[in-house]
Structure 1
Amino acid sequence: MATLVQAVRLALHYGETHLGVTDVFGEDVGPPLGGVFTATQGLKTAWNSPLDERGIVGTAMGIAYAGGRPVCEIQFCDYAFNTIDLLKLAGNQRWASAGNFDMPIVLMTPSGSGIRGSLYHSHSFESWASRLAGWKVVMPSNALDAYGLMLSAIADPNPVLVLLPKALLRMKGDKLIPGEPADADELSRLIDAPVGDRSDWVPQWPTVEEYFVPIGSGSRVREGTTATVISYGRTLPLCVQAADELHRDFGFTFDVIDLRSIFPYDWPMISQSVAKTGRVLIVNEDTEVTNFGEHLLRRIVDEHFYDLLAKPRLLMGKHVPGIGLNQVYEHNTVPQLPGIRDTLRELAEERV
């Protein structure tokens, strides 16, 4: 099974072979490194840009205006903050031109905690991104979704931000990408660059196939009636584990929704689930002031107030300037399994 980052690489290879990707670029994206997390190793259209995030976004806009279809990378989302004005411009171009000028940019960037990256490599970006009107924003939690969402992002005429959860990049999926070798070691031999001299290395790409995950569609990864849990990215597997443990220990069953798309998001799936369970917990690791989960919470209260059996809850990161390098600091700054499990049990047991 491919890891999440291998799935991204396979999707980019499919994109430059079948979907018209003209450029894959960013800091250390081209040879010899192929991306700091190896997401772009061996791609024929990959090249290295200067260390200039504003230049990366501006160049992507220029390529798109000229008829290209670029995929660019900001090495860590922590360094996307100085591009906000350009991201806003990219987001309004199709709208301002009444659809006459497409802006088919894919901007991918690692986001979130989980690698002990300290102050400058642990931020979450989805709440900021959700305010960029005109952009679509996705965040996969597994390899197959990463592959399918990336293909959908490449094919979209709008700018799409692909947030990649740092903590899950090396996690293997539990479902094969269409055309992927079943043997993980074989896949690694085919597409992972060797350590050391890579001057003569050429990847042997498997014949992966078309697989699109529609942007805006969530995934119900567990089904139940006790409560609804909504998450994405790094915290999604933790929510699944918490739900499974509470089912084993207490018999509770939960609808666990992997949002997959921050915007547009799958409101029909959320709405149906909340109406069924009457209890809801939203979990992410962005900071707690103007968190994207607060928007979901507000909409749930607005549209399902009389369906709710208990106060809805939002578990999120602490509002601090950054995450410390020490593992204890990181664990106490963003949601972890014990806190998710305790909050979910409290929600399940709250009396009507």
Structure 2
Amino acid sequence: MGAPLGGVFTATQGLKTAWNTPLDERGILGCAMGIAYAGGKPVCEIQFCDYAFNTIDLMKVAGNQRWAGAGNFDMPIVMMTPNGAGIRGSLYHSHSFESWASRLTGWKIVTPSNPLDAYGLMLSAIADPNPVMVLLPKALLRAKGDQLLPGEPADYDELCRMIDAPVGDRSAWEPQWPDLGPHFVPIGKAAVVREGHTATVVSYGRLLPECARAADELRTDFGYTFEVIDLRSIFPYDWDTVSRSIAKTGRLLIVNEDTEVTNFGEHLLRRAVEDHFYDFLVKPTLLMGKHVPGIGLNQVYETNTVPQYDQIRDAMRDLAADVA
């Protein structure tokens, strides 16, 4: 989305190369595909992943173009869309789309857990000749990262003055974008954000920082050391990093907020059991959202539908204390 808002979360605010479209998800994706066929590299935005369901047939077409054309027809589109819960968005603004997306063969799917990875994954997605879906955790789109982008001012107030549009009349406002350097995060490469030997925790997106925070707390309180892995890419995913960690710790917890039936974490769990059945000291587990039609607007409904910090911490503690 273009001026003046730049999308629901102002992600494209002030970009002269962004423009508004009718609120038509099929038209947005179809237009992006047409630009790609003509040799462009478009980035399109679906305002919320909840409305990407309207485009699944087109996503299927986009995903099979390179395969069907024997590599002669690239489809270098990027579709970015806010994903998941955490903003009390109720029934139509709280979906998690990664499990659906993982079934769209031909697509690459990434989901960052911090601003630097969001920047690096977006640059890698734009450079890729395949269609890439960038799932941006809704609840983290206002979160400030610990690491600066290359070229980002260290003074946060200065950055705000440079790029935040003023309240009120914005007709004469022009952003002063910092001169950012390149930073590419390879698609398909996980990050080990905490190293440890007690157990392996695999997560991504919004709940990854919660897993890291729980690991820090449990280390302080009980001396447990959890190896926390940020998957970053849903497909292709970094099985080598996950596999090495399981072989080291013998214990596994997978955490996400998608619903519990045909959850992407179930695929990881199946592969973990097949590859590491004899390495496990205790049964591997998966903490995920409840299989309900939607998430209610009331905060109580949301907190009782998707995993919360206390549940993550307790699941990690129970896994560490489980007797082999």
For 2:138 and 2:178, locate their aligned partners in 1 and report how far apart those are by CA, in whole Å: 25
Out of 249, 252, 261, which is 2:233 matched to? Answer: 261
Out of 129, 133, 146, which is 1:157 matched to? Answer: 129
- Structure 1 range deviating more: 193-202 or 223-232: 193-202
For structure 1, list consecutive stretches of 5 or more residues without a partner in the other structure: 1-28
Q: Deviations over 1:117-162 (max 9, x none)?
A: 0001000000000000000000000010001000000110000000
State whether structure 2 residue 34 is matched by structure 1 residue 41.
no
For 1:187 and 1:252, locate their aligned partners in 2 and report how far apart those are by CA, in whole Å: 39
For 1:175 and 1:118, locate their aligned partners in 2 and report how far apart those are by CA, in whole Å: 32
State whether structure 2 residue 70 is matched by structure 1 residue 98.
yes
For 2:217 and 2:177, locate their aligned partners in 1 and report how far apart those are by CA, in whole Å: 39
Out of 284, 287, 294, which is 2:259 matched to? Answer: 287
For 1:195 and 1:35, locate their aligned partners in 2 and report how far apart those are by CA, in whole Å: 16
**TM-score between the two structures when normalised by the length of structure 2:** 0.99
For 1:183 and 1:214, locate their aligned partners in 2 and report how far apart those are by CA, in whole Å: 28
Out of 63, 86, 89, which is 1:114 matched to? Answer: 86
User: Any residues of structure 2 matched to 1:328-343 within 5 Å, and which?
Assistant: 328-343=300-315
State whether structure 2 residue 194 is matched by structure 1 residue 242.
no
State whether structure 2 residue 163 is matched by structure 1 residue 202.
no
SS at match of 2:2: coil
State whether structure 2 residue 55 is matched by structure 1 residue 78.
no
For 1:349 and 1:205, locate their aligned partners in 2 and report how far apart those are by CA, in whole Å: 50
For structure 2, list consecutive stretches of 5 or more residues without a partner in the other structure: none
Q: In the TM superposition, what is the alpha-carbon distance from 1:196 to its structure 2 partner?
A: 1.1
Q: Deviations over 1:209-236 (max 9, x none)?
A: 0100000000000000000000001110
SS at match of 1:204: coil
Q: In the TM superposition, what is the alpha-carbon distance from 1:48 to its structure 2 partner?
A: 0.6
For 1:212 and 1:260, locate their aligned partners in 2 and report how far apart those are by CA, in whole Å: 13
Q: In the TM superposition, what is the alpha-carbon distance from 1:188 to its structure 2 partner?
A: 1.1
After TM superposition, which residue ranges in structure 1, 4 or more long, deviate above 6 angstroms? Answer: none
1:170 partner letter: R
SS at match of 1:282: strand
State whether structure 2 residue 145 is matched by structure 1 residue 190.
no
1:221 is aligned to: 193
1:219 partner letter: A
Q: In the TM superposition, what is the alpha-carbon distance from 1:192 to its structure 2 partner?
A: 1.3
2:109 is aligned to: 137
SS at match of 2:278: helix
Out of 265, 270, 273, which is 1:298 matched to? Answer: 270
For 2:283 and 2:307, locate their aligned partners in 1 and report how far apart those are by CA, in whole Å: 19
SS at match of 2:60: helix
1:15 is aligned to: none
Q: In the TM superposition, what is the alpha-carbon distance from 1:70 to its structure 2 partner?
A: 0.4
For 1:193 and 1:152, locate their aligned partners in 2 and report how far apart those are by CA, in whole Å: 28
SS at match of 1:100: coil
1:60 partner letter: A
1:178 is aligned to: 150
2:272 partner letter: I
SS at match of 2:277: helix
- Structure 1 range deviating more: 183-192 or 118-127: 183-192
**TM-score between the two structures when normalised by the length of structure 1:** 0.91
For 2:6 and 2:165, locate their aligned partners in 1 and report how far apart those are by CA, in whole Å: 9
1:320 is aligned to: 292
For 1:249 and 1:60, locate their aligned partners in 2 and report how far apart those are by CA, in whole Å: 51
Out of 224, 228, 235, which is 1:252 matched to? Answer: 224
Q: In the TM superposition, what is the alpha-carbon distance from 1:84 to its structure 2 partner?
A: 0.6
Q: In the TM superposition, what is the alpha-carbon distance from 1:205 to its structure 2 partner?
A: 1.1
2:4 is aligned to: 32
1:10 is aligned to: none
For 2:102 and 2:174, locate their aligned partners in 1 and report how far apart those are by CA, in whole Å: 38
SS at match of 1:256: strand
For 1:63 and 1:327, locate their aligned partners in 2 and report how far apart those are by CA, in whole Å: 41
Q: In the TM superposition, what is the alpha-carbon distance from 1:54 to its structure 2 partner?
A: 0.7
1:41 partner letter: Q
